[in-house]
A and B are shown apart, each in its own frame.
Chain A
Amino acid sequence: MINYLKKNTHKIAILLIAWFAFYKYLTQITNFIIDDVFKLEEGKHLTETLRFFIYEVPKVFLLLILIIFLVGILRSYFSPEKTRKALQGKSLFTGNIMASLLGTVTPFCSCSAIPLFLGFVEAGIPIGITFSFLIAAPMINEVAVVLLIGLFGWKVTLIYFFTGLFVAIFSGWLIGVLKLEKYVADWVFKAKSKNQESEQNKIEFKDRIQLGITGVKEIVGKIWIYIIIGIAVGAGAHGYVPEDFLSTLMSKANWYSVPLAIVVGIPLYSNAAGIIPIISVLIEKGVSLGTALAFMMSVIGLSLPEIIILKKVLKMQLIAIFVGVVALGIVIVGFVLNYIVFT
């Protein structure tokens, strides 16, 4: 790694300086385009909508490229196999904490939820700990982090990260305490793999860089359209929808706003890229942070497609408990943020 960095110092330096310069002067560039090139009248709805859009789109993409690249390198040090090994023989609670943390960095796609679940069960990892992993993995990811940083700043991002971890740890722990193994489909415990542990070949640091670049291409290629649409909707609302439009319905004065947001959020399915610009509109128009984050967590953490996938390995009772427990965790987060942290 050191060698690689030494050899490529100038390249890395140039790229980083270009990145920071662009990021730093984005406000000035945007204002120049809006005020001097197009000579739009300041303060008008259309002007401010355009200013918001022209500023936010490159900002979010700059953040996406840098952070997905770095996370791609980080992820290359993890694999489901290593995570499984780390979790073997861990007690409840400690295991839940580790599983949730590992869930945020282990390469994972929800289409692999079943093989991963089976692999964990086979290794004797309790289902409660497995669930902590499966809840944290989709909920806390680099795309969510980038968009939260870009649209809300560091503070909200950290709050989301830690409350998301809380939901994963709490839900998995509760499922573990309730001893629900009997509600796992019977065939799951019979499934046996012949050749476990196919050793990963050693990879060099330059391959990890390559993995980071591939990650950026893959993820940005998949979500760019949602981001542009999301920010366009956000920009439109920013300029045109009156402030406090939603505040009567969804403010923290209404105790039911959090459960309502979750009930609406569960059947909705979107990735972080699609939902976060919408969340930013909600917050701007008067929805409290706890309610908005609860909504976001229920949309990306609990989804119908995932539930349908899990139906292959879980009996209905366990799916119902799983959804209920995660929803409960999110309700707690919503209430704590609404009534305790931001009173």
Chain B
Amino acid sequence: MEIKVLGSGCAKCKTLEKVTREAVAELSLDATVEKVEDIQKIIEYGVMITPALVIDGQVVLKGKVPKMKEMKEILTK
């Protein structure tokens, strides 16, 4: 699984990255988590509100930081 956290330096973006990494670790998923800060790359995903979460090229979440439980559901779907 290839996970990308899209977002420039804002506080929520950092929180999303943290929650994502923690959830991946707790679920012991076989996944790579990458933070994408380059605005041109972010735009390629058609996202207009950051932070956003991309799993295997698919935008699954934007503009908010989910709770841990919700994040786990997203990752295991």
Contacts and interface: CB of A to CB of B under 8 A. Distances in A.
B70 to A, nearest CB: 10
Contacts of B58: 198
Contacts of B30: none
B23 interface: no
Interface stretch (A56-64, A189-197, A241-249): A189-197
* Most chain B CB neighbours (cut-off 10 Å) among A80, A195, A196: A195
A80 to B, nearest CB: 4
Interface in A294-322: 312
B49 A80 contact: yes
Given A111-B8, A112-B63, A198 B40 contact: no
A193 B46 contact: yes
Contacts, number: 71
Contacts of B13: 111
Contacts of A122: 43
Please tell me the size bucket of the interface on B.
Answer: 20 to 34
Interface stretch (A20-28, A31-39, A113-121, A261-269): A113-121
A109 interface: yes
Main secondary structure on B side of the interface with A: loop
A84 interface: yes
Interface string A92-132: 00000000000000011101101110111010000000000
B39 A193 contact: no
A187 interface: yes
Given A114-B39, A198-B59, A80 B44 contact: no
B24 interface: no
A54 B57 CA distance: 53
Interface residues of A, number: 27
A191 B49 CA distance: 16
B19 interface: no
Given A107-B63, A112-B63, A312-B39, A119 B8 contact: no
Nearest to A309: B8
B63 to A, nearest CB: 6
Nearest to B6: A115
B42 interface: yes
A191 B40 contact: yes
B50 interface: yes
A196 B40 CA distance: 14
Given A107-B63, A195-B59, A198-B59, A112 B48 contact: yes
Contact of A115 (B9, B43, B57, B64): B43
Contact of A194 (B39, B46, B49): B46
Given A118-B39, A191-B40, A112 B45 contact: no
Given A194-B45, A195-B59, A115 B40 contact: no
A109 B10 contact: yes
Given A118-B39, A198-B59, A111 B10 contact: yes
Contacts of B64: 214
Interface in A186-234: 187, 191-198, 214
7 contacts: A80-B48, A107-B49, A109-B49, A116-B49, A119-B43, A195-B46, A196-B46
Interface of A: 79-81, 84, 107-109, 111-112, 114-116, 118-120, 122, 187, 191-198, 214, 312
Given A187-B40, A191-B43, A193-B46, 4 more contacts: A80-B48, A109-B10, A116-B49, A195-B59
Q: Nearest 9 A-B pairs (CB), nearest first? A: A111-B10, A193-B46, A119-B48, A80-B48, A196-B46, A198-B59, A112-B49, A191-B43, A116-B48
